Structure 1
């Protein structure tokens, strides 16, 4: 609990001012977000949760592409949610946005029994107990639901000097690319289908974990 409070305070301190220009700057190096959104393939009434939704940039794009989906978002930083709520100030059906810890939530946090799509975009690399966040996200999926992740990869196809410089720069913002992200997903994918693709020679990784389909009730 103390670790979560400390992390929340760190994120609020970092984003209190950064949130005002976050979207403008991040579009130049957070690659793969729109590819992830295009692959959500949401149907009418699907419940979509974004973990660590930040300024709401992705939720805005999801709402435009899938206007009949029901959207939800959580973030540990109240400061970031100030910007997210502002984006939906005039929306007829804004997403439900809550201050919550990605390592301590359930669908019931939002009054739901599960979600059809869960999105984690460039957040696992900033969540201290990211394995727990993955476990909770997988457990929050409805049967037939899917978890969609994009985050920094290991730059496996890029020069070593580039990776070293990028990792050093990212560490200034409390970002640590998770080298074993794929292995953790594979370990937690029993009974599910895992799809993985590197983006930009490993600059980013994109993964989709698809749970078993719903069983029809006759």
Structure 2
């Protein structure tokens, strides 16, 4: 699928999938979306810096990040209007409407200037979103392209359970697939290729015996 092909279908799929689940999404996901808070702790945006979340969902991560890094400005977008409706309400409930800006956008064909009027951003992060979007490779490339000098892109997602029992992988992957979630076995290769193409430094980490994978791409200052 190209970066733009099937955008309407993907939006409809996500709206239908999360029309109900968005109401208890954050409560259930905290038990298995592991590594999100470590990613937020490692963002360390510069004072007055800009942070973008690709696929922000209910805005849970943006809210946590905005409270941890109060001197930064936060932006997030999602393809699902259902999720964004919940996100807007959550941001308002936490009194963060002046700190967090939300928009609807396609992760495979986004432009930070068109969405938020920004030329570049200091930090981009993608938390358990690449396994949910067909144009995930395009999302990484666009996120990296949006980085300001000295900026960094942070990724955490499901790994390949490489040091866990085979039955655990089969059982969990089946349940993930039922919700249109597909862990990306070639994530590391794609991250390293994009880093080489854009002149970025890349690092990769496997945690919890392969349950989660994380990566960072950094643009030279």
TM-score, normalised via structure 1 length: 0.95
Distance 1:175 1:210 in 2: 27
Distance 1:195 1:44 in 2: 24
Distance 1:92 1:172 in 2: 34
| 2:159 is the counterpart of 1:153 | yes
Contact 1:43 1:66 in 2 (8 A): no
Runs of 4+ deviating beyond 4 Å: none
Matched with 1:123 is 129
Contact 2:63 2:96 in 1 (8 A): no
Matched with 1:216 is none
Q: Give 3-state SS (helix, strand or coil) of 1:53's partner.
A: coil
Q: Give 3-state SS (helix, strand or coil) of 1:125's partner.
A: coil
Give the superposition deviation at 1:206: 1.0
Contact 1:52 1:76 in 2 (8 A): yes
What RMSD, in angstroms, separates the aligned Cα atoms of the two structures?
1.0
Match of 2:206 among 175, 181, 198: 198
> Which deviates more, 186-195 or 62-71?
186-195
Give the superposition deviation at 1:179: 0.4
Q: Give 3-state SS (helix, strand or coil) of 1:96's partner.
A: strand
Matched with 2:146 is 140
Distance 1:97 1:65 in 2: 18
Match of 1:94 among 99, 105, 108: 99
Matched with 1:41 is 44
TM-score, normalised via structure 2 length: 0.94
